Structure 1
Amino acid sequence: MKNSTRFLAVILMVCCSSFAFATQNRNAHVDNSAGKPINKVTVPAKMNSTPFYSEDFSGGLPGSWTAVDSAGNGVNWRWTTTGIFNYGTQPGLDSLSHSGTTASNGYMIYDSDSSGGSVGGENADLISGSIDCSAYSVVRLSFNQLLKHFNEIATVHVSNDGGTTWSMVYNASAGLTPHQATSNPDAIDIDISAEAAGQMDVMIRFNFTGDYDFFWMIDDVMLYEPTSNDAALVDITSPQNSCTGLSATEIVTVQIFNNGSADISGFDVSYVLNGGTPVTETVSATINPGNTLSYDFFITADLSVPGPHTILAYTSLGGDTLNNNDSLSISVYSGPYTVSSASNFTMGFEDNEDLSGWAIEDGNFDGNMWNLSTTLPRTGAVCARMNTPAAGTVADDWLFTSCIELSDTVSYDLEYYYRTFSTSTRAMFEIMIGSAQSAAGMTQVLEPSFMVSNLNYVQRVSNFTVSPSGTYFIGFHVTNADSATSLRLDDIRISPASGTGIMKNTHSGISIYPNPTSNNLQVQGLSNGDKIEIYNSFGQLIHTQHHAGSEKANVNLSSHATGTYIIRVIGNEATSTHKINLIR
């Protein structure tokens, strides 16, 4: 077993900072593969033309490629269709994803982990044969990868003299912390024109240098020359969802990426609101290759009517023959989302869903927080994930929905699916609701904190009501159950409860006092036959009390330790959940 020490950089979050000093264990199970922020980010388009060279490693190591164990220790690049030697120990990272790759027909892997211990140093190369790039003035290299990092250095090099000299063009390990992995797959696109353009004898080398680290998988190596003219519309950044409602003069802002090899300017960009008449304007600014322009339309959009609106935007550039990246459509909601039998609130965290109104809160200020992950989604390609907190810190992280309009005359079901990453990353999971999008604004418990240890997705449905009617946010809260806590969340739905969805206000008048208390609690507003349940902070049921008679009951907590408790009042037609603090 091997240890390395690292010092975490200052993490600045909401004007606060924290330093951490930690020791990382080589065999620790953590869940820190690369993820995307919860809010939308611009992702420029990649390849825009047919490659003049490609290798998908179908059937094995090609005859023109070589795998060289320069360290001579017996650990080398190998061809695989199944992934790492100890498949099953790295959920979601065991093998290269088949989504967006040709991994199903095989790929190359350097599996440093397979050595089982130090071998005195590893240094292995995966080298292509000679590639003629003499006819191309611009050359880009693309490939799919999956790297799990510990202490290795995984780099890509290019030679234009038959392998005599090499220039490094990419470091896959850079920016990763120990135990962190790239996304799966991670599509890489690099401009190697300085090394390869106009050259007859170009070679590509993937080098792994380390000693008992993890693994690096490579597939779909391609060289291509981008087309001259390609204006890719990659994002619509404004307007965004608004809980208070949008105006009649909203500015529409789009992101245009020059995915070609020549400067572009003087072309049209348009948007269409709710299927109406296109608004077309001319982009006069010059966008250099590889750069993105943020363009604000002069003509504004009227989004003052409450409810959903669609905005379709597109570019029109002469000579642009690649049309699959010219347009983009988004849905924007003006005001809070109203849940009804005809309109459920859903979120699967996919790329085509609007997360602009969602928010996160990093309660322990460690910089590790909720994000979007392409590993282990329940459905589709993406799920929400709370990744492993920084070593030596305790998870305290929130994910909040966008604003939702709820009625105090309706009983609602919150449906969601959850799992953890491994048996060593169990999490405590709590769901609350409140009128402000923050931890402090969460006032009602929908699901008391419970331990998540399942390695397959489990469905849970939490029934709840609100009082009074109004705009609410739901918060998903993760705290530690193990030192390397992790949790995944997917396929959320809020809908009126089964049946008519109409409830009697049996518990609209429930009140619990004093709070905090030192021993006894009074529960007011009960009905005959109601049941009172009390849960501790670990989600364990510690007290049950059946009520009969008057509207008031006394609950004695004198035998319990100080701390936070959840009280749930269960009636025939409604459930009321409250958080109380026991102090002495």
Structure 2
Amino acid sequence: MKKLLLFTGLLLGSLSMYAQLTCATATNISGSGTFVCPAITGTYPSGTGLCIAGTATPKAIWYKFTPSASGLLSVTSVIAANPVASTDTRLSIYSGTCAAYTCVDYNDDINEAGGDYRSVLNNITVTANTTYYIVWDNRWSATGFSFEVTFTPQTCFQPTGFTYTAPPTTTSVSLGWTEPAQGFPSGYDFEYGPKGFTQGTGTMLSTADTSIALTTLSPNSIYDFYIRSNCGFGDYSVWAGPISFATVFTSAPTPYNTSFEETNFGFIGWTQDAPDNYAGETWSVYPAGVGSTLVQDGANMALIFAGTVAQGNNDVWLLSRGVDLTANAPVTVSYYIRNYLGTGATGSSTYELKAGMTQDIAGMTIPVAAETVSDVTYVQKTYTFTPATTGTYYLGFHSTNAANTTAQATFLDNVSVSQVLGTEDVLASQFSVYPNPTSNVVNISNTLDAMITKVTITDLKGRTVKSNNVAAASNIQISTSDLSSGVYMLNITSDKGTVVKKIIKK
């Protein structure tokens, strides 16, 4: 979910107030204002419930805020007093007590890819008479800076906990959420549209439920939505959003390429898979920014860090979107990979590349490559394999990096799949038969405007079981209701040539 960059502008002057160095001595903030954080030299939170855990323990500065009424709290270092070029902050907000606190939320960089390393948390729901700790740490910089706090009393609050209530399809998505713990919403206003749409120009819906079903969507598409609670009598929460979701990505033709230009693998049709009980590092998309030396192409790349000793070796697969391939024609897979080493780090990247016909570990049955990479700059790798059958194939990049006590990672970028087909294969790739498997009818269409004049159906022994002469047309439908269950070959005759397609009769 993207953080909202909504500034209320309710500033009550500028206070030169210095925080204390521990939770117990946190400086009290009584309301909205601008505050000066000194050099960060205090004690970082410890124990369980940490917003950000790691092997290194940074320093911290503590503030606390106890609202007298429920409402929305925003904290930001994204202000004019803090130049973008020289400010690098990290922010966490906790609730509870110093003996037992709970992470509410945290933010490191507002726009890492754009080089803005300041921090913001907006519209955090806070409860009356509950203490919230605002913690700045020196993970990236110990230099002092200024920040703003805004508190707005509220009686109607946003929903949270957004999730899919059923697996998305190519044309539909069902979304659900958790009603706010405070306030009494009678319903919700919901607006959605293509990713990046301007709020107010999308499709508006209202519902009394904590879920909504969207239909007539487009395949391979990313959408955004905004939502707010309606508490009646003109009392609304602030909008939550934009929050992104996607329909299912269908298989892609060759040539296929991705440079991971979406920050969610699902938004390009990729996914991950790992053995049961695996608790190590996973793949992620890193938005380094255009021109960064961390990427080979575009603004993003995929990466996976080596696990800690406690986590153990990596054992997780990054699985590609499906790609349509033709039997017996070589497939070329090209990608760029590098071994990243942080300051003082050692180690190499180990991985294997496989292909298969299902998007999971079990489907990865075709070995393509296996190697160790020590190059600390990108190197291009090119491998080939030949599919035995025509169909949809997936690539699997299996990270097996050894556990490491230093910052070592594998970077992957600019993945391409291509296949050079013979003349007959090219022609066949332009024809589609569906549904397949079929029960009663099969449709035949093509992208060449080829005029189909005859369809002959044979069994796997080559015996003709049905033959149809048809009026010349580029799209036709034939009956299969009289065929027994089994596998058949469709011999399609057209003015562009003859094509053979396999169908399954249920």
**Which residue number corresponds to residue 512 of structure 1?**
none
**Which residue number corresponds to residue 304 of structure 2?**
385
Instruction: Give the deviation of 1:172 after TM superposition.
Output: 8.6
Q: Distance in 1 between matches of 2:243 and 2:22?
A: 47
One-letter amino acid of the structure 1 residue matched with residue 331 of structure 2: S
CA offsets 1:81-136 (integer angstroms, 9 cap, x no match): xxxxxxxxxxxxxxxxxxxxxxxx998444999xxxxxxxx9987366x99x9997
**Which residue number corresponds to residue 295 of structure 1?**
211
Q: 1:191 to 1:238 in 2, by over 3 A?
A: closer
Q: Given that residues 429 and 479 in structure 1 are in contact (C-alpha distance below 8 angstroms), is that contact kept between their aligned partners in structure 2?
A: yes
Q: 1:54 to 1:230 in 2, by over 3 A?
A: farther
| SS of structure 2 residue aligned to 1:476 | strand
Q: Distance in 1 between matches of 2:246 and 2:392?
A: 20
**Which residue number corresponds to residue 357 of structure 2?**
435
Alignment length (residue pairs): 362
- Give 2:164's match in structure 1, choosing from 216, 237, 246: 237
- Give 2:280's match in structure 1, choosing from 368, 373, 377: 368
**Which residue number corresponds to residue 469 of structure 1?**
390
**Which residue number corresponds to residue 73 of structure 2?**
140
* Aligned positions of 1:404-415 closer than 5 A: 404-408=323-327, 409=329, 411-415=331-335
Instruction: Give the deviation of 1:433 after TM superposition.
Output: 0.9
Q: Given that residues 73 and 126 in structure 2 are in contact (C-alpha distance below 8 angstroms), is that contact kept between their aligned partners in structure 1?
A: yes
Q: Distance in 2 between matches of 1:170 and 1:219?
A: 28
Q: Distance in 2 between matches of 1:253 and 1:139?
A: 25
**Which residue number corresponds to residue 399 of structure 2?**
478
| SS of structure 2 residue aligned to 1:252 | strand
Instruction: Give the deviation of 1:431 after TM superposition.
Output: 1.2
* Aligned positions of 1:431-580 closer than 5 A: 431-449=353-371, 451-481=372-402, 483-484=404-405, 486-496=408-418, 501-502=420-421
Q: TM-score, normalised by structure 1?
A: 0.46
**Which residue number corresponds to residue 396 of structure 1?**
315
Structure 1 alignment gaps of length 5 or more: 1-41, 56-61, 71-104, 114-121, 148-153, 159-165, 176-180, 286-293, 506-584
Range that drifts further, 134-143 or 386-395? 134-143
Instruction: Give the deviation of 1:424 after TM superposition.
Output: 2.0
Instruction: Give the deviation of 1:462 after TM superposition.
Output: 3.6
Q: Distance in 2 between matches of 1:219 and 1:311?
A: 37
Q: Given that residues 155 and 172 in structure 1 are in contact (C-alpha distance below 8 angstroms), is that contact kept between their aligned partners in structure 2?
A: no
Q: Distance in 1 between matches of 2:265 and 2:12?
A: 32
Q: Distance in 1 between matches of 2:403 and 2:135?
A: 40
One-letter amino acid of the structure 2 residue matched with residue 489 of structure 1: F
CA offsets 1:5-59 (integer angstroms, 9 cap, x no match): xxxxxxxxxxxxxxxxxxxxxxxxxxxxxxxxxxxxx57758663353799xxxx
One-letter amino acid of the structure 1 residue matched with residue 18 of structure 2: W
Q: TM-score, normalised by structure 2?
A: 0.52
Counterpart check, 1:332 vs 2:247:
yes
One-letter amino acid of the structure 1 residue matched with residue 357 of structure 2: S
Q: Which has the higher contact order (CA 8 A, sep 6+)?
A: 1
* Aligned positions of 1:225-264 closer than 5 A: 225-226=151-152, 228=154, 231=158, 237=164, 246=170, 250=172, 252-255=174-177, 262-264=183-185
- Give 2:9's match in structure 1, choosing from 50, 59, 69: 50
Q: Distance in 1 between matches of 2:300 and 2:13?
A: 25
CA offsets 1:172-203 (integer angstroms, 9 cap, x no match): 9999xxxxx98987866766654589xxxx99
Q: 1:398 to 1:321 in 2, by over 3 A?
A: closer
**Which residue number corresponds to residue 460 of structure 2?**
none
Q: Given that residues 435 and 472 in structure 1 are in contact (C-alpha distance below 8 angstroms), is that contact kept between their aligned partners in structure 2?
A: yes
Q: Distance in 1 between matches of 2:315 and 2:67?
A: 56
Q: Given that residues 351 and 397 in structure 2 are in contact (C-alpha distance below 8 angstroms), is that contact kept between their aligned partners in structure 1?
A: yes
| SS of structure 2 residue aligned to 1:337 | coil
Q: Given that residues 420 and 488 in structure 1 are in contact (C-alpha distance below 8 angstroms), is that contact kept between their aligned partners in structure 2?
A: yes
Q: Given that residues 431 and 476 in structure 1 are in contact (C-alpha distance below 8 angstroms), is that contact kept between their aligned partners in structure 2?
A: yes
Q: 1:394 to 1:270 in 2, by over 3 A?
A: closer
| SS of structure 2 residue aligned to 1:354 | helix
**Which residue number corresponds to residue 223 of structure 1?**
149
Instruction: Give the deviation of 1:490 after TM superposition.
Output: 3.9
**Which residue number corresponds to residue 358 of structure 1?**
271
Aligned-pair RMSD on alpha carbons? 5.7
Q: Distance in 1 between matches of 2:300 and 2:367?
A: 30
CA offsets 1:125-157 (integer angstroms, 9 cap, x no match): 7366x99x999763636367978xxxxxx9979
One-letter amino acid of the structure 2 residue matched with residue 283 of structure 1: T
Q: 1:468 to 1:256 in 2, by over 3 A?
A: same
Counterpart check, 1:284 vs 2:196:
no
- Give 1:418's match in structure 2, choosing from 315, 319, 338: 338
Q: Given that residues 272 and 312 in structure 1 are in contact (C-alpha distance below 8 angstroms), is that contact kept between their aligned partners in structure 2?
A: yes
**Which residue number corresponds to residue 78 of structure 1?**
none
Identity of aligned residues (%): 13
Q: 1:411 to 1:352 in 2, by over 3 A?
A: closer
| SS of structure 1 residue aligned to 2:368 | strand
Q: Given that residues 350 and 382 in structure 1 are in contact (C-alpha distance below 8 angstroms), is that contact kept between their aligned partners in structure 2?
A: no
Instruction: Give the deviation of 1:435 after TM superposition.
Output: 1.9
| SS of structure 2 residue aligned to 1:264 | coil
Q: 1:495 to 1:157 in 2, by over 3 A?
A: closer
